[in-house]
Amino acid sequence: MDAVTLVGIDLGKHSFHLHGQDANGKAVFRKKMSRKQLIEFFVTFHACTVVMEACAGSHHMARKLAELGHTVRLISPQFVRPFVKSNKNDFVDAEAICEAASRPTMRFVTPKTESQQTLSVLHRVRESMVRERTRTVNQMHGFLLEFGISLPVGKTAITRLPVVLAMQELPPRLVAILERLHQHFKYLEEQIGEIDQELARQLADDEVGQRLMSIPGVGPVTASALAAKMGDAKQYGCSRDFAAPVGLVPRQYSTGGKSNLLGISRRGDKNVRRLLVLCARAYMRGLEKRTGRLADWVRAMLAQRHSNVVACALANKLARTAWAIVARQTTFDAGFTSHPL
């Protein structure tokens, strides 16, 4: 056991499968453990490199093992899959994790801190509530349309639904259903508002978030999402290394020495990508009032490309700018004005 230098763990809810190997890649042990047994095992085990897939529970486990003196590495599951031999089982997965981690060019995921994870959870809750609010609004619009009542598109008209119901002769049961949906809509509005206020309070105490909000078009929601995604930005070597996992760089399909760049890859965190594109569109809407190098660049791009293409290109530039601000501990030029999202 003293010869073990690398341990791969296939994570599960209740059981964990371990594969240990030496410096030459030879298997030394295979073990199945519960969560409690896993911690007890690594408390007494000598310091080594522990590798896991970056999935549910991996960041928490990485922090626990790092506290015990082990070097922890997380690998994206898509990079582990090619190393799975023949039939799949948990021990084979743990061995594949070790094999993938042994590659000198392998890319690893930096474990998130508790604050980063908490902020990420808050964003996911907000996103699910926004989707639920949209679904509820669409239901009310559809039910009213079935009875010949057409309201303007959007959620603004739903706020005056009680007035509409009082003016129309509708079945009492339908009115009760619509009132119930309207109460649910108001509840979601209140919850989303409270989450937005909490994000704003967290950003007020976060120096990184305040610097990110200096970027034109970036508001509290986007700034907090970027802060949760990047952390200290040290895991990214350059600005493009951050834009790539967000999915804002071109897909490449090149062969025979001929380069062929396609549309954006759309990989990685779709919520951060969506927010950056919205920030880009907000910046473009007020372009006539903008000054500076960024505004001149956007105008030149709009003269040559479709606005959708320019929005994605600007989102890419905003992502790179965000990385530079966090990594170099600077702020955006205060001469630029913004319309926050």
Ranges of each domain in the chain: 6-101, 115-204, 216-328
The token duo for 236 is 């990214």
Cβ(248)–Cβ(274) under 8 Å?
no
User: What pLDDT, on a 0 to 100 scale, did the predictor assign at position 264?
Assistant: 86
Length of the chain: 341
pLDDT along the chain (341 residues), means of 10: 89 92 90 93 93 92 93 93 88 93 90 88 93 94 89 85 85 92 95 92 84 89 89 84 88 83 84 92 88 88 92 93 89 54 47
In whole angstroms, give the CA distance from residue 296 to residue 325: 21
Query: Nearest to residue 21, comparing CAs of 48, 54, 53?
Result: 48
Helix (H, G, I), strand (E, B) or coil at 306: coil
- The sign one gets for the Cα dihedral 243, 244, 247, 251 is positive
Q: Strands, E, within the chain: which ranges?
A: 6-10, 15-21, 27-34, 49-53, 71-75, 250-252, 261-264
Q: Check residue 334 and give its pLDDT.
A: 44
Q: What is the pLDDT of residue 56?
A: 85
CATH architecture entry for 6-101: 2-Layer Sandwich (3.30)
Angstrom distance (rounded) from CA 225 to CA 124: 10
The two tokens of residue 4 are: 């073990």
Residue 241 is predicted with a pLDDT of 87
- pTM, two decimals, is 0.81
Identify the pLDDT of residue 337: 43
